[in-house]
A and B are shown apart, each in its own frame.
Chain A
Amino acid sequence: MSDLTKNPAPETPETPQTPQTPDTPATAAEESAAPVPAVDPRLLVREEGIKGYWTEFTRKIRGGELGSLPVILGLIVIAVVFQLQNSNFLSASSVANVAVYASGLGIMAVGIVFVLVLGEIDLSMGSVAGVGAAVWAGLQVGNGMNEWVAILLAVLSGTAIGALHGFFFAKIGVPAFVVTLAGFLGWMGLQEWLMGGEGSINTPSGSVVENLTNYFFADKIAAYGLALVAIAAYLYSLLRDSSRRKAALLPARPLSEIVLRTAVVAILVLVVAYVMNEPAGARGLPLALVLFLAVLVLADFVARRTLFGRKVFAVGGNAEAARRAGINVDRVRIAVFAISGTLAAFGGLFIASLSGGATKSLGGGNTLMLVIAAAVIGGTSLFGGRGKVWSALLGMIVIQSIQQGLNMIGMSNAIQNMITGAVLLAAVVIDSVSRRTQKTAGRA
């Protein structure tokens, strides 16, 4: 490597640091000329500050890189429409309700995001959630085991089930669709068998599992403190990244952009914290939301910043290329299904907490579909290689907001399902159209 990097070829120009707009004729002429300078046009645009940021934003939108924009616009529309129908929609209790209901399914959606990035599907999420809840209930309530041990074993049972799916998929070569379809049926049977004669096992009052969704940090300092910590951590990570990039002479985010990003995040986070704390009927910060956010932050770090995450995206993008690059594709696949099983079982405990106990039918019904829909609405591709962990949060908030809003204006379950289905279809349509625009704009 040394002789490759030490002496840059004399004809290579230093990366120009002078700001340039892509729309000036000079740059356009340069781009059409044969030797295009090796610079990142997008990063140069950002050097101009807020105005450049806007140019960059509009260019991206025109190029079809919509990112999370459709979901955020969708959320605004949902909020306005339901608020006009029922003035309680944005009330403290309603928002807390959405947050709590979104948490359990959202944690499961994080699991399915990993599987979708791999380009596969896990149809057994609901059944595994049911098994997790049944294992926990059987051990703690049925056998009087320590509740923490019972919870740990329940979550680990999900890990084991997921790893088993991964084994059959990666090592034996059975399509994941079939493996997890078999799992969907089989684990549903195991769940019923574990529940035995009991139709349901109630959560003991005051137990950890009951608190998962019923505990609220009533102290106002909790919500505000968490918000401030999040803002500070976000700002710190942006500044640190920027200074390290400057030290390495790489294009870095300008200060104006860092301030803008932090301001947007700060406003969002503080508004949520305010709604949790201040209005009449506010109960404080829900524990469920804290756990969901913890899972999101951890999973996002794993997906974007670690070797493992890079391998998952590589296998999802081109498994053969990953194999030739020396990545153990089988191990990555098994690990991803194990993650999905783990989070499914963990989510199952939340569902048990919400419904007051483990039942024979927990995790059945539309649980699986809502989980997959959330990941897709949030913007994770079904075709592998593309997706963000945060799409689990965005998608699940959309779904739960719609259900909450329709409940508040007294719509029946049937109508709710139809509307959720239409939203899912709309999300996929937007995704497909934007991807086609990206292709024509040469960005995909």
Chain B
Amino acid sequence: MIHVSATPVLALRGVSKRFGAVQVLTDVDLEIHAGEVVALVGDNGAGKSTLVKTISGVHPIDEGTIEWDGRPVQITKPHDSQNLGVATVYQDLALCDNLDVVANLFLGSELSSARVLDEIAMEKRARELLDTLSIRIPSVRIPVAALSGGQRQVVAIARALIGDPKIVILDEPTAALGVEQTAQVLDLVERLRERGHGVILISHNMADVRAVADKVAVLRLGRNNGVFDVKDTTHETIIAAITGATDNAVTRRQARTASKEDAK
């Protein structure tokens, strides 16, 4: 395992967030170190997306503190978060289908001199970035529309790295992907860790979580429900934390199928 620094890059301490009468997050703690993949799991409505949005500055927090390299910081708008070094890859990729890969990678942060695009510098850097991440795409000059779902997802993730962020947030990066593409994205997540980025991975897919994550932070009904080390935690323990009970739909189903197989 990779060496993990003592001070977390990003730490949330006692964060609460409410929308009107609904208390979405209550006293949530979360720590991400450099070179660490933290999976954020929880059932629908557990507050995963809201938590991520507080980090990326979409929703400012009501209570609690956010620490960056040990210092408290204010994140009130997406720009604050980007300036700190947080890059978010949203579930709906947010790529422009009509633009080519280079244009998409640099969208919003184009290299230019006197407002004229420097296509050559951008293409050179795009190739370097894609090569470093071992991303295979047919050409950096074809429109994104011509790429497969997995290729589009890796382009979206690569785009988050253009600004060299310290923390990368991936919101369900494998949700719509096939087996092969999922493996590619998981490879990419591991490469991000090797390069020392902290990664927050939101996923419903326990297989993916167990494959790449170092830690699993479970949210349940807007509260922390345990942070587990992946390598010495069983699947059942995590499921139990997500659902809030050892006796839950997943275990009951497993018991049922197991007894059926015994009967055979």
Contact = CB atoms under 8 A, between A and B. Distances in A.
Interface of A: 1-5, 7-9, 11-12, 15, 34-43, 241, 244-245, 248-250, 305-308, 310, 313-314, 316-318, 320-322, 324-327, 384-386, 442-444
20 contacts: A1-B125, A3-B195, A4-B129, A5-B132, A12-B134, A35-B136, A40-B139, A41-B138, A248-B121, A305-B116, A305-B117, A313-B103, A318-B96, A320-B94, A321-B107, A322-B107, A326-B109, A327-B108, A385-B96, A386-B98
B99 A317 contact: yes
B120 A248 contact: yes
Given A317-B99, A385-B96, 5 more contacts: A4-B132, A9-B133, A40-B139, A250-B123, A321-B96
Contacts of B120: 241, 244-245, 248, 250
Interface stretch (B47-55, B140-148, B221-229, B234-242): B140-148
Interface in B95-142: 95-99, 103, 107-110, 112, 115-117, 119-121, 123-125, 127-142
B127 to A, nearest CB: 7
Contacts of A325: 94, 107-109
Contacts of A4: 128-129, 132, 161, 164, 195
B8 interface: no
Contact of B164 (A1, A316, A443): A1
Contacts of A3: 164, 195-196
Contacts of A244: 120
Interface residues of B, number: 52
A363 B136 CA distance: 53
A8 B196 CA distance: 15
Contacts of B128: 4-5, 8
A306 B97 contact: no
A40 B136 CA distance: 11
A115 to B, nearest CB: 16
Contacts of A34: 180
B115 A38 contact: no
Interface of B: 79, 82, 90, 93-99, 103, 107-110, 112, 115-117, 119-121, 123-125, 127-143, 145-146, 161-164, 180, 191, 195-196
A66 to B, nearest CB: 16
A12 B131 contact: yes
A4 B195 CA distance: 7
B146 A41 contact: no
Nearest to B159: A325
A314 B131 contact: no
A9 B136 contact: no
A249 B124 contact: yes
Nearest to A386: B98
B148 to A, nearest CB: 9
A40 B124 CA distance: 13
Contacts of A43: 139, 141
Contacts, number: 136
Given A9-B191, A318-B96, A321-B107, A2 B127 contact: no
Contacts of A320: 94
Nearest to A119: B98
Nearest to B139: A40
B140 A40 contact: yes
A5 B143 contact: no
A42 B139 contact: yes
Contacts of A318: 94-98
A248 B119 CA distance: 11
Given A38-B130, A43-B139, A313 B96 contact: yes
B129 to A, nearest CB: 6
B115 A307 contact: yes
Contacts of B132: 4-5, 7-9, 12
A307 B110 contact: yes
Nearest to B115: A307
Contacts of B145: 444
Contact of B138 (A7, A11, A12, A40): A40
Nearest to A314: B96
Given A4-B132, A36-B138, A324-B94, A442 B146 contact: yes
A322 B131 CA distance: 25
Given A37-B136, A38-B130, A310 B103 contact: yes
B201 to A, nearest CB: 19
Residue among B136, B137, B195 with the most chain A CB within 10 A?
Answer: B136
Which interface residue of A12, A43, A245, A317 has the most chain B CB atoms within 10 A? A317
Contacts of B139: 39-43
Contacts of B191: 9
B115 A40 contact: no
Contacts of B109: 325-326
Nearest to A40: B139
Across the A-B interface, the 5 shortest Cβ-Cβ residue pairs = A325-B108, A385-B98, A317-B96, A317-B98, A40-B139
